[in-house]
Structure 1
């Protein structure tokens, strides 16, 4: 089988470990989405698509490349549409709430500065609408804090969510092909120097949280994804973010699960249901 990696970082620990498992029997190829300039006039100039692609990138170019490959019949994990949905926190909230998932209530504002003078029920959490590296995620406790944030991010499209009191620890739930992995990590709202994620056995999660993570995949059509959950009190989960194809670092069995998913998808010639 030919397995393609859509990523600028094929040396990422999860991808590198999965590649090492695959290469004895399969050919693994990297496609850097940074070089993608759009669909070529001659489709054959791209070459024959691989049997499956792993989409470990979220840039507009990466999503465009993934859509092109899907149009040519190649399975992509995760699909470009599902990946793009997780990049827009407004679009993410709508299907989550519609499906009855315990997702944070979300208000969208076209520019942070528009909140000046508005009646806000402090404290609130303000995030960039479009998820990306080094985006805005901050707790704001009063008007002074909002004005200070506007000094840097005034034009940023944002979402506003109520702040929910919690332990200050995020539960990181990762799913690869229906297998749940877990860790805990200090919330960046509680500790900017939050340190690494600490592995957690799925059996040590509060009751029902692993099933909740699996349901997210069904709602969003994802096969490799992460769900950030906080304990809203008494083991009640609140989903604060969903990520397509996260790093899943330091999780025993994660590279094996990813390699097996890639091979199964290539053999079927189609992406399995989320």
Structure 2
């Protein structure tokens, strides 16, 4: 429960699971507490009804919520409770066809994305080397993704649909990820999840002006404040293959400070 003393700034964290010691959010909360900001955690998946103190917070921060809990955050936003990230922006990232269409319309580099309802349609669409993913995205773990052509893709669905089919982007075999918190951007180089599955951490790489602008454009188009951008370095430059809200910032040493700085700015 939050302390609503006169002048006391407060942040309510609505989380999909309890924060573990040594991970991102406990560090962020400790930094906020050190800045004289009161923090408290509520787990909507365990207790769907939000306590009154949540709506009384100066800022609601949410991460890892299912659709039902995200709708509760949307109701808070409709009541003009400040929320980070905006729930509509998070909902957008879970609809890959809509997300990719919006980014494409804004002139951002994304692969052609075809939405299909079942696995056989996905296989049929993979006439050349393609990447198939679930149509619902957002977790940033590189799971539920497979590359191949219809001749070598499995006959049975390897994961539930619906799906999106994208052409395979020729690249150097490495994934790159931008980690964004407000105006601050960092980046890591990671092995491709197509070959190695979900990989935590990575090697830091420089963020040049072009990548900073790319992150800013994604923020403008989606409305996200704290997010990750997965991209490949194609022949013509970076190609965005996914956007996910509030990643874990593993391997980004400045991650907790970046997020805390942004949240403090939201409170001012």
Question: Could you say which TM-score interval applies, normalised by the shorter chain?
Answer: 0.7 to 0.9
CA distance in 2, matches of 1:6, 1:224: 15
Residues 112/119 of structure 1: CA separation in 2 closer, same or farther (3 Å cut) = closer
Residues 103/58 of structure 1: CA separation in 2 closer, same or farther (3 Å cut) = farther
By relative contact order (CA 8 Å, sep 6+), the higher-ranking structure is 1
Specify the alignment match of 1:91 in structure 2.
Answer: 98
Task: Say yes or no: does 1:185 pair with 2:204.
Answer: no
CA distance in 2, matches of 1:249, 1:80: 23
CA distance in 1, matches of 2:125, 2:117: 17
Specify the alignment match of 1:222 in structure 2.
Answer: 224
> Any idea what SS the aligned residue of 2:13 has?
strand
Offset at 1:194? 4.8
TM-score (norm 1): 0.85
Given that residues 36 and 62 in structure 1 are in contact (C-alpha distance below 8 angstroms), is that contact kept between their aligned partners in structure 2? no
Given that residues 142 and 197 in structure 2 are in contact (C-alpha distance below 8 angstroms), is that contact kept between their aligned partners in structure 1? no
CA distance in 2, matches of 1:57, 1:195: 17
- For 1:162-241, list aligned pairs within 5 A: 162-192=167-197, 194=199, 196-203=201-208, 208-233=210-235, 236-241=237-242
Match of 2:11 among 3, 20, 31: 3
1:15-45 CA-to-partner distances (Å, cap 9, x unmatched) read: 1111111113111111112035367xxxxx6
Task: Say yes or no: does 1:129 pair with 2:135.
Answer: yes
Offset at 1:184? 0.6
Residues 119/220 of structure 1: CA separation in 2 closer, same or farther (3 Å cut) = closer
CA distance in 2, matches of 1:106, 1:240: 10
Specify the alignment match of 2:44 in structure 1.
Answer: 33
Gaps of 5+ in 1: 40-44, 268-274
Specify the alignment match of 1:161 in structure 2.
Answer: 166
Given that residues 119 and 157 in structure 2 are in contact (C-alpha distance below 8 angstroms), is that contact kept between their aligned partners in structure 1? no
Gaps of 5+ in 2: 1-8
Given that residues 121 and 162 in structure 1 are in contact (C-alpha distance below 8 angstroms), is that contact kept between their aligned partners in structure 2? no
Given that residues 200 and 250 in structure 2 are in contact (C-alpha distance below 8 angstroms), is that contact kept between their aligned partners in structure 1? no
User: Cα RMSD between the aligned structures?
Assistant: 2.2
Residues 38/172 of structure 1: CA separation in 2 closer, same or farther (3 Å cut) = same
Match of 2:80 among 73, 93, 96: 73
Residues 50/164 of structure 1: CA separation in 2 closer, same or farther (3 Å cut) = same
Given that residues 231 and 238 in structure 2 are in contact (C-alpha distance below 8 angstroms), is that contact kept between their aligned partners in structure 1? yes
1:113-147 CA-to-partner distances (Å, cap 9, x unmatched) read: 2345x353321000000125684201013423242
- Count of matched residue positions in the alignment of Structure 1 and Structure 2: 254
TM-score (norm 2): 0.86
4+ runs of 1 displaced by more than 6 Å? none
